[in-house]
Structure 1
Amino acid sequence: MSRAGKRSGRRSARIGAILALGLALAVLARGQSAAPSGGSPQTAAAPAVDVEGDWLITPDGRLRRPEVAKPALPKEVTRAFIIPIKQAITGATLDAIRRKIIPIKTRKAQIVIFDMDTPGGSGGAMAGIVRLIMQDLKDIYTVAYVNPDALSAGAIISVACDEIVMAPAARIGAAMPILIAPTGQIVELPEKVRGKFESADLAGARAMADRNGYDNDLIEGMITIDRVIWLIRRRGGQEPRELQIVDAADWYGRVADVPPGRQPVTQRAVPTDAQWEYVRTIAGPNKLVTLTANEAVAYGLATRVVDSMEQLRQAFNITAAPEALTDTWSERMVGFLTSPAVMVVLLFVGILALYLEIITPGFGVPGTIAIICFAILFGSRYLAGLAQVWEIALFVLGVGLLLVEIFVTPGFGVMGIAGILCCLAALLAIAMANPPDKLPLPDTELDWSLLTHGAMALVAGVTLAVVGAAILARYLPRVPVASRLVLAPPQAAAVPPATEDANILDIRPGQTGEVVQICRPVGKVRIGERLMDAIADGAFLNAGTRVVVLRNEGNRLVVEEKT
């Protein structure tokens, strides 16, 4: 391979690589789990804590917990859902979670538990999942149950939730962005490129930390190795033994009792009356914050440690069995059937088959095909939580109005227009997720995405069906076999020949009159004071239409609309 080809291959590998909060960090995290503070002997697992109001009470001191607004939970939780994330996070994971959030929203979930065991994965997929949690689940209480690992992208997803709960042997952290080539090798990022990615990730992490009441420095320490994170304690003042988690760079020379090697040699002397003292290093130089279960609780990141999902149910008083939204073949099948491409095909085939059923005698194969297509269209979306019963009823009403307009009422008017509007409204409504008691109005990015794709599929399917129907109307009667399946144009009713003194003999072509009884195509028209049988030449003529006589056939008049 030429040098240019090699350079191109390397460039493609970099561009096509996943910006991962990656699998390699799982190895890094394992190394850190033995000494999560950068090897310091003072970084043993923190003991369990007590809670007093806004404070976490540990043997080290008192750590303030910020008060933040979160969705309210009822005393008894009866609508709980579990979303497992048990693998590396990829685009497929994002698509699966997007599908699972739809029934969660429509069924008014009270709590959603993310069952986390992941080494990390794609940064893009992680960002999509975080947006879903913060936008589409903003009114639903979310819990990340780390059992046993939420590393890299999994840690950031956990921080996006309202609460984090840990299993006894769980770990969380190590969320630095890295680049993984298609070959699976880690691509070292230049410092400036790494800084660009980290800057965006740090800003997002601070927003999530502020939203859910987590410590900014602790979360930032998970993402960048440029931070040294300390736990320090106030010596006196109004809040003695108050603890703070800090970036050591901001506190050099202000904290007493720092062990040798824990700060620059060139630091300025620490005042003898320093108000803060060193407790421990949470993450040392060139290390990422990675916490055990007890540490996460002691530092205010997690609220509790539970052994199992059953204990977690008891902790949140979930009285009804939670529904686990697992990745089954049926869930994937429903996801396929509700895709925009399949919606286009179902609409095209269903509308075209319905048209064929209308223009052919009796009830046969086209009508059956139409019923099957619309049953799949609405049934799959009902199972996915996209279609509500009233939306399906609205579509059925629209089809009924159209059939009444075609076969019962004369002409095409209010009934037909109302039927079309009902059908279109129902098809748009099933594109979005909404509870039964709310109108399907877009609110979040997911809602707009579903509506946009649904509208595009609706336009494409209806357009293709109309074009197909026009082609069939023009060429189907000319096909030898198919022409016998198409309804022949209605023939005029037989009438007895007119006698010599009949009034109809005086009518001449060019005379005008008015339709009294709809000509479909046979009806009655009034010429002057006389009521005559007539047949429309071409389109049906509604009552009240002004007509002109084309010819007199002796026992009937052939008329057309006067222009």
Structure 2
Amino acid sequence: MNRRRRRLSATPIVLLAAILLVTLAGLFGVPMEQAKAVNDTGPAVYVIPVKQTVESGLQSFLERALEEAEEARAEHVILVINTLGGKVVNAEQIGHFIRENKIPTTAFIEGKAVSAGTYIALNADNIVMQPGSTIGAAAVVDGSGTLVDNPKTVSFWTSEMSESAALQGRDKNIAAAMVDPNVTLELKDKIGRDKLKSEILTLTASEAEKVGYSEHTAESVDEVLKWLGLEGRTKIEVAPSLAENAARWLVNPVVMTVLLILGIAGIVIEMLVPGFGAPGIVGILSFGLYFFGHYVAGFAGMESVVLFIIGIALLIVEVFVPSFGILGILGSASLISGVVTAASDPMTAFISIVIALVAAIILIAIFVRMNKTRGIWNKFILRDKLTTEQGYLSADVKDSLLGLEGITITPLRPAGTILIGDNRIDVVTSGEFVDTNRTVKVVKAEGTWVVVKEIVK
């Protein structure tokens, strides 16, 4: 039995060790291979995909890839863009990182560079578009896809887009027309149509080239290299590592909330109903995946993990050492701080943990109700029963004794015990003493008091 428990308790450690190995492999495996390729062939062109949704995971990957290209002294970077957009805050940080990078950068749009994708492309030194691709439609929308008309938000994003375009020598008014539906623009002489009010400007590959939002049209990356005069250069295609792909999924707000629900519920259930093992494993693994994803994405540091561990420890101590709630409050604050500081967006993390706490409480209540005969609370519940068979009678039963006769089995001085039928009953007299084996009669029964009087024959 002890061996089984040791194996069970070691399982979370094994799982977390596996996560750590995946993290290390993801973080260090790919760069080492690419660095070797560069050393063997000299300066190269780095081809970096910018695909799917623009969010914190993509931001972390692009920052890692661009840093790697800079360390390898790459001659050029080509960003292959095909995205419908994503979060403004992540797009802004990606754009600034591209601008600050010292390596010449070309954005190759092979599908759609919509919304946040447009902003990323505008920060590159060159834009090359594939036939049939589009750029624009960069208006700010909320999570449901509804157009955001808040003047401050629209003004901010319009300024960001316009500034990025102007820095690369592009017409900032066109960038503004891609964001603000109230902007009007005369473009009929260039692309055959004007940008009217209430419209959001989107440009095709040929239209973008006509208005200076694309320098060239190419079918493939190889054609882009030829246009840049870099044909024959070693092409290093950077791909997200296994850990980075996992992190992009794990930092999703929905997945993040589910992990927090399972983590909180699992650990609390394991504390309340010890011996199951599975809830504790699920809880530890869920929290491990939460911090793993945010660590790989570049948001969580050791301070976040330390705060979280301190919070858990304080909450455990609170269960066994009453502190008038002080340890519980400190533990909760530390735990929440660890979770929030590990996330890219503190407000999103705070909302997630509030939702997780509510959902976890419901799960815990259901589990506890299903297993109410087990658990730590059994130590605080008196389960001994005062049954009639043991000689204990309720007040209602004692009222029914009035007028009955019994035999004293102990002296009544004036309290003692008598036997009525098979029941032992504690009684008192009115003050007189009565020896054993005497017949007495119940003359009064009030509450817990049963008063008897000896029957003299």
TM-score, normalization: structure 1?
0.39
TM-score, normalization: structure 2?
0.47
Structure ranking higher in strand proportion: 1
Structure ranking higher in helix proportion: 2
Pick 1 or 2: higher relative contact order, CA cutoff 8 A, min separation 6.
Answer: 1
